[in-house]
Structure 1
Amino acid sequence: MSEGGLTLAEEIVLLALDDETGRPVGRSGMAPDRALAGALLMQLALAGRVDTDRDRLILVDATPTGDAALDAALARLAAPGAPADARGAIPLLARDAPAARAAILDRLVARGILRREEGRVLWILPDRRYPKTPGRPEVTEARTRLRTLLLMEEIPAPQDALLLGLARAAGLLPLLFSEAELEAVQPWLGVVTRIESLNRSLAVAVSDVRGVGLGTAQREG
Structure 2
Amino acid sequence: MLVAEELILMSLHPKYGTEVFFNAWKQVKSGIAGALLMDLALKKRIFCRKGRVILLSSKSTGDHILNEILRNIARSDNPKSIEFWVSEIQSNIQNLQDRLIERMIERKIIQREIYPGKFGMRVAYPMIKSRIYWDIIDRIRALTKAKEIQDFQTFTLIYIMQSCGLSRIFKTRKVLVPRVEISPDWIFKLIEQEKRTTKQYVKELLGNIHAYISRDHVVSLAV
TM-score by length of 2: 0.79
Give the equivalent residue in structure 1 for 2:184: 186
For residue 206 of structure 1, what is the amino acid of its counterpart?
L
Aligned partner (choices 26, 36, 39) of residue 40 of structure 1:
36
Give the equivalent residue in structure 2 for 1:171: 165
Q: What SS is found at the alignment partner of 2:115?
A: strand
Verify: 1:214 aligned to 2:214, yes or no: yes
Deviation, 1:202, is 1.7
Deviation, 1:29, is 8.3
Aligned length: 213
Deviation, 1:205, is 1.8
Deviation, 1:49, is 2.5
Deviates more, 1:82-91 or 1:173-182: 173-182
Give the equivalent residue in structure 2 for 1:3: none
Q: How many angstroms apart in 2 are the aligned matches of 1:214 and 1:8?
A: 17
TM-score by length of 1: 0.79
1:21 and 1:129 in contact (8 A); partners too: yes
Aligned partner (choices 90, 93, 102) of residue 94 of structure 1:
90
Deviations 1:23-52 (A, max 9, x none): 234665864223211111111122233222
Give the equivalent residue in structure 1 for 2:199: 199
Give the equivalent residue in structure 1 for 2:148: 155
Deviation, 1:196, is 4.2
Alignment of 1:1-221 (within 5 A): 6-25=1-20, 31-80=27-76, 84-122=80-118, 125-133=120-128, 136-150=130-144, 152-156=145-149, 157-177=151-171, 185-197=183-195, 199-215=199-215, 216-218=218-220, 220-221=222-223
- Distance of aligned partners of 1:170 and 1:159 in 2 relative to their CA distance in 1, 3 Å threshold: same
Structure 1: gaps of 5 or more residues = 1-5
Deviations 1:177-221 (A, max 9, x none): 579956663353442354443513422222222211422523544
Q: How many angstroms apart in 2 are the aligned matches of 1:54 and 1:158?
A: 22
Q: What SS is found at the alignment partner of 1:112?
A: coil
Q: How many angstroms apart in 2 are the aligned matches of 1:50 and 1:8?
A: 15
1:182 and 1:220 in contact (8 A); partners too: no
- Distance of aligned partners of 1:146 and 1:110 in 2 relative to their CA distance in 1, 3 Å threshold: same
Q: How many angstroms apart in 1 are the aligned matches of 2:91 and 2:158?
A: 23
Structure 2: gaps of 5 or more residues = none
